[in-house]
Structures are given as C-alpha cells and as structure tokens.
Chains A and B, each alone.
Chain A
Amino acid sequence: MAHSGPFRCQCGQIHADQYDGPTNDLLPYIDTAGVSALNESEAGACRRIFRPFDQRLQRDAWLQSEDDDPQLLITIPFTSPVKIQSLTVIGGADGSAPRELRAYINQEALDFDDADRMMAVQTWQLQEGDAEGRIEYPTQFSRFQNVSRLHL
C-alpha cells in the first residue's frame, strides 16, 4: 500500500534488484500476466510498470490511482518463490510519488480492508524527491525468503 500527498499517487516502476544493477533483477520471475491492482485509474496499467533495469526511467507508462483516492494495492505473483532483497520505487514528480509502502507476503488475495487490518510484513517511508529511483529500500531479508506472492 502506498499513501502519498494530497490527492494523487503516481507510482512509477517498481522492481526489486540488487545494488549492482541488473544481474539480480527479479523481473523475469514476475508473473506479469497475473499482476493486478486495486483502485487503479486505468485497468491493466499495473502490468506495464515492471521494467528491465535499463528502462526504468522511461516515463511512458505508469500506474495511477483513482482521482480522489490515493491508495493503490498491487498484487505481484511470482513464477517461483524468490527472495527479495530490496525495492525501488520511482514515483512521479511534485508530490505525486508514494509516501509509504507496505508489503504483504504470500496472501492469496488482499483487499483494502484486509490490508488495513493486517500487520504488514514491512513498511517503508519513502523519500520525497527521488524521481530517479536511486534509493533502494532494503528488506528485512529473513522475512522475504520465500515469496511467491507480494502485495504492495
């Protein structure tokens, strides 16, 4: 889940990779057909936001929440259990980037009420102004050892 500034939440690309670039990019393990999101403004946009490392800064496709509700819930299934080391979120400019990111692991299906009730496995407060995704948010690796489905 990602909260943000006053009205808009515009989440850019999210991919999990290691510090040293594309070698540990988990993109190939993401079951892109199964990616779905709740409260997106455009159905199906969530699939386009996962990109290879070298294309992460392209601005042509993004995921945006509904106009008056800045919450997004993204479901990411993986093709095989993975270990996630870190996450990078590239958000939009001027306050439309997400502020808070919560991760839930291996839940079969989550909706907003469930997510509110449950304790997230990990929560990050995202830095403002990181339009280029240089900040990687590390995970508590021990908890992210065997992830087959991730909700953000």
Chain B
Amino acid sequence: MVLEASFLCIDNSDYMRNGDHAPSRMEAQLDAVNLLSGAKTQSNPENVVGLLSTAGRGVEVQVALTGDVGQVLSLSHGIKIGGNANLSAGIQVAQLSLKHRQNKNQRQRIIVFVGSPVQEEEAALVKLGKKLKKNSVAMDIINFGEEAENAAKLEALLNAVNSDDNSHLVTVPPGPHVLSDILLSSPIVQGEDGAGAAMAGMGGGGGEGAGDFAGLAVDPNMDPEFAWALRVSMEEERARQEAAAKAAEEAGAGSAEGAAASSGEGAAAAPASDAEMAEAAGGAAAGDADEQALLEQALAMSMPGAAAEQPKTPATAPPAETPGAPVGGASETPASAAPPPSAVPAPALEDAVMAEADEDEAMQLALAMSMSQGGGGESTTPAPAPAPAPAAGDMSAVFQDPSFLQSVLGSLPGVDPNDPRIQSVLQKQDGDKKEDEDKK
C-alpha cells in the first residue's frame, strides 16, 4: 500500500518485432504494462503511472504521470516500433518526470523493460544508478529478449540503484510462458512486503485448474466482487468434496470387493467432476442445463460405495450442512436466488427424480457393484454408462425390495437400518420409484 509514482519505460526498438515471446515481444510488453499499471493503481488509489518509449525517433513520453489506467493502456497501443533503444536517456527522462510529480509524498520508481542490447557502458550505467539512488529513486528492471547479453550490465545497474532491497531485476527467458504471468508472481508486483500478495493468494486459492488461475488473476483488478464470489464458491466446493470423499470412504470400507472399484471410481470421478465443477463454477452461468449436469455429477459422486449410499446421503443431510445437489447448485453462483427445492433432504430425492435417467443408471451401477461382492456375475463399467431401459427397470424393481435394501444397509457401518430417518426415506424412495415407473 505504498504511495508511489511509477514511470514505465518500454522498449520499442526493432528488436521488439521478434516473436520469441509470444505473440511478439512488443505485445508481451504491452500486456505487462497493462498488468503493472493496474497493479500499481490497485494497491493504492493515489498511485500514479507514466509511460515513455525509449526507442523510435528518440525518447518520447507517451503518458505523463496519471492515475488513469485506461489512458495508459490506450496510448500504449499507439506506440510504433523502430529505431534503437536509448536506455540511459530514457531513465533520465523518467527521473525528470518523476521529479516534477504533483504529489511530492509519492515515492519514485522507474520500471524499465529491456529487450534489446544495451549500448551504454557498464560504468555509465553504474553512475546513473548511483545518481538515482542518491535521489531516492527505486528501479525495477525487466530483462527479456536479449537476456544473456544484458545480464551483467543490468545487474550492475541494479546493484547501483538498489537501496535496502527496494529495486528488483526480473529476467525472463524466451519460452511458451506469458511475460505478464511471470511478472505477476515476481517481486515487482508483489511488493517488498507482499503487498500484492492478495492477488497471489487469490490466484493460488483458485488454482484448481490452470485456466482458473488466469481468470482469477484478472479479477482482483477488474471486479473484486466477482472475484470474491468465485473464491467463496471454490471454498464451498472444496469443503463439499471433502465431505463427499469422507462419506465415500466410509461406505467403501463397508463393501469389501466393491470398495476397490468404487473408491477407485470415486477418486477418478471426484477429480473429474471436481474439474468439471470448478469449470462450471468458473463459468458461473446458472442455466438450468448446468444445474442438471451438476446434479447428475453430484449423484454420481455420492453413488460409489453402495446403493444405499444415496439414501444415506440425504439422511445424513439434516444434521450436516447442505446436501450434495443443492450445494452443487449453490456453488454455481453464491448469490443464486432460488436454490433448488432440494434444500430439504427428502425432496433431494424428488430432485433425483428430475434427473431420473442418470439416477437409474447410477443406481443400477451401484446395485451391480454391491451385488458383485456376493459373487454376482454382473460386469460393470466404471463410469455410469447409460443402461438400456428394461435393465434399469429390472434393477429398480430389485431395488424396491425393502428386505434387500435392509440387508444392504445393514452391511454398512454407521448406518442403522432401524433408524427412523432412514426408514422414512426408504419408504419415500419406494414411493418415488413407483412414480418413476409410472412416469415411464
């Protein structure tokens, strides 16, 4: 939260046409300019940023010190490539501009992009650096493009300017990575005491998928509320998955042979739907289709272990937080107006009815797995594949047999078949199943 006036010096020499930093060095630079000016003005609203180009016809100040990031961005795109970079002149002009800043309380900082060979001698650079240090100007140097050649000179310059670790040198080798991403995690954006750590925290916390990171990295700058919403939904999702994983483990321990397959499937399904969920949450489109998909996935996740896993899950819902399906729905947008009616455990099954096709498949699969421990020769596929309807019907018939259900339930640890809650749920489920068949 340091009050700072930063002047960015970008290199617009002919070396910037090179494509070794995607898509071209110049574009990577402009991207980084966008990032840096956003980061600076974000960390303190009174910060100002300026921009100049060091090549072309000569050093030219593109944007005087301003707090308006939009102005910096729009004018940065008008910069033409050509000529040779004059580093020392650029730095001196930047220093002069900083000297005449309006708010003298702001610290002075120059951020230089160096992408072409430095023509000045090392001694001259050191002298310049000392002058900057004497006038308490800090400096950040971003060495890309011709790093090997410039490394020694820029190191010397950094050591001359550096006072109490307020200056940094970042070297970016060419490669598939994005310049801005590297800068984001570097001390230039992070600040000396991790002032920018908030952004890194958000990026790290939302690092479930690589795509998410890039998305979240922009969020704190553009839309803090949206970023907060995403973060909350991510945390909710994680908590729910942990609960589901624990439940799956408990159930899986009960059924002997099915355990390996189910927990394997559960583990496989978990990260799969994890990623899907993350993407769904990241997409944040609360369409009905998405909710359906989420519900199905939630059911699939809670399925592994035993057939009775499903009635068990809603049964344990009343003491626990929220059942899988509604949390799945809620994690879409935390501000989603109407959570599905499955906020109550019993209606969770009615929701299951809505997703009847998948429920049947899942149930059939679970049944098959639990029956396979008894030596049943059902060959099952690990994924809940669509099953032919008559087979599903058969399974449902079997499933409806309360005595069968009781035996399965009894084999599970921690589930008391005489538990009145489970009884009531079972009865309701039977009723739903009949409804199911009628609907078909």
- State whether the Cβ of A39 lies closer than 8 Å to any Cβ in chain B: yes
CA distance A111 to B135 in the complex (A): 6
Contact of B163 among A43, A108, A111, A113 (CB under 8 A): A43
Given A38-B135, A109-B104, A111-B135, residue A69 in contact with residue B130 (CB < 8 A): yes
Residues of B within 8 A of A (CB): 99, 104, 130, 133-136, 163-164
Q: How far is the CB of B56 from chain A (nearest CB, A)?
A: 27
A118 to chain B minimum Cβ distance, whole angstroms, is 14
Residues of B within 8 Å of A66, CB to CB, are 133-134
Residues of A within 8 A of B133 (CB): 39, 66
Interface contact A112-B134, CB-CB below 8 Å: yes
Please determine whether B104 and A38 come into contact, CB atoms closer than 8 angstroms.
no
A128 and B383 alpha carbons, distance in the complex (Å):
91
Q: Given A108-B104, A109-B104, are A38 and B130 also a contact pair (CB < 8 Å)?
A: no
- Number of residues of chain A lying within 8 A (CB) of chain B: 11
In Å, the complex CA distance between A38 and B137 comes to 10
Q: Mark A89-119, 1 if CB is under 8 A from B, else 0.
A: 0000000000000000000110111000000
A-chain residues with CB within 8 Å of residue B134 when the two chains form the complex: 38-39, 66, 69, 71, 112
Using CB atoms, name the residue of chain A closest to B164: A43
Chain B CB count within 10 A is highest, among A38, A43, A111, for A111
Cβ of B135 and Cβ of A112 under 8 Å apart? yes
Which residues from A are CB-within-8-Å of B136? Answer: 38
Is the CB–CB distance between A111 and B99 below 8 Å?
yes
Q: Which chain B residue lies CB-closest to A69?
A: B134
- Inter-chain contacts of A38 with B (CB < 8 A): 134-136
Q: Which residues of B have CB within 8 Å of A111?
A: 99, 135
Cα(A66)–Cα(B135), bound, Å: 12
Return B134 CB to nearest CB of chain A, in Å: 5
Residues of A within 8 A of B130 (CB): 69
CB-CB nearest in chain A for B135: A111
Give the interface centre of B130, B133, B134, B163 by most chain A CB atoms within 10 Å: B134
| Cα(A109)–Cα(B135), bound, Å | 11
* Cβ of B234 to closest chain A Cβ, rounded Å: 40
Contacts of A112 in B (CB 8 A): 134-135
Docked pose: A108 CA to B106 CA in angstroms: 13
A66, B361: Cα distance in complex, Å: 77
